[in-house]
């Protein structure tokens, strides 16, 4: 059975998982970008661009209220900003890992986004206040996936949209090659570049424990979302989940 949320090694409950995840990402923040681009051969840039394109209509509205949650070092935020008109309402770029957020703020500061240190499970935002929530490769790290979906639902306006860009596990020969890379190669590269092994052992485990697309889509429907869908990217190595907030809060 898929885990209810991220469980780094040694974490016994949701509170412990959240603390462990924050510590992991704060510890690798200085080399996070170079490792991401290296390990993905820069394909991650294409994924951010494709995700931002999916929400082009909302991004083009200067009055749209937009949140990039679990923004990390801000690459998804930058992709969203490229589709924002001049003098548009600033995008909120939020993360609870302070070192990651600080590096992101250096990228998007003064370019139409505002950094917000916040926990995705306890957003300091009003009910029904956002038109769009996007998260790129951060949802997988929440301590409780269903609680995260409910919290996003709470702050989205009726008809507001949700986009979750995440890794998945492809099938067939590609899946076998992908698994070998994730389980054998990635931790070694991470240890060499980052100087520590733990964080890049956590990454493949977190992907392996993450719900498969049909399961996550069912969670989204259960949280009150409509029009739930999943668009695979690059043979299903990653994919974009999309949904619209239903009219009734749960």
Tens digit of each residue's pLDDT (9 = 90 or more) over 7-40 = 888 888 999 999 999 998 998 888 888 777 776 7
What residues contact 195, with CB distance under 8 A and at least 6 apart?
none
CA nearest to 65, candidates 1, 201, 147, 159: 159
Structural element, H or E, at residue 134: strand 130-136
Inter-CA distances, 204 with 151, 180, 190, 226, Å = 26, 10, 12, 30
Contact 17, 6 (CB under 8 A): yes
Quote the pTM value. Answer: 0.93
Structural element, H or E, at residue 150: helix 145-155
- What gap in Å lies between CA 150 and CA 134, rounded to an integer? 14
Contact 144, 5 (CB under 8 A): yes
Q: What is the pLDDT of residue 1?
A: 43
Tens digit of each residue's pLDDT (9 = 90 or more) over 171-203 = 888 778 877 877 777 777 777 766 666 677 788
């Amino acid at each position: 059975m898929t885990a209810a949320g991220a469980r780094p090694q040694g974490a016994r409950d949701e509170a412990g998982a959240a603390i462990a995840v924050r510590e992991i990402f704060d510890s690798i923040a200085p080399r996070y970008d170079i490792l991401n681009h290296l390990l993905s051969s820069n394909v991650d840039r294409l994924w951010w661009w494709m995700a931002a394109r999916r929400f082009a209509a909302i991004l083009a509205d200067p009055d749209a209220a937009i949140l990039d949650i679990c923004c990390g070092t801000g690459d998804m935020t930058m992709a969203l900003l490229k589709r924002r008109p001049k003098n548009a309402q600033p995008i909120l770029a939020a993360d609870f890992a302070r070192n990651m957020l600080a590096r992101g703020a250096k990228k998007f500061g003064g370019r139409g986004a505002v950094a917000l240190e916040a926990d995705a499970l306890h957003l300091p935002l009003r009910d029904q206040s956002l038109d769009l929530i996007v998260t790129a490769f951060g949802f997988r790290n929440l301590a409780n996936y269903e609680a995260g979906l409910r919290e996003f639902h709470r702050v989205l306006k009726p008809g507001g949209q949700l986009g979750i860009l995440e890794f998945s596990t492809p099938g067939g020969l590609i899946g076998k090659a992908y698994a070998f890379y994730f389980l054998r190669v990635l931790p070694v590269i991470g240890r060499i570049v980052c100087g520590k092994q733990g964080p890049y052992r956590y990454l493949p485990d977190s992907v392996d424990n993450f719900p498969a697309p049909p399961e996550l889509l069912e969670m989204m429907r259960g949280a009150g979302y409509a029009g739930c869908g999943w668009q695979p990217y690059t043979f299903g190595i990653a994919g974009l989940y999309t949904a619209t907030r239903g009219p009734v809060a749960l």
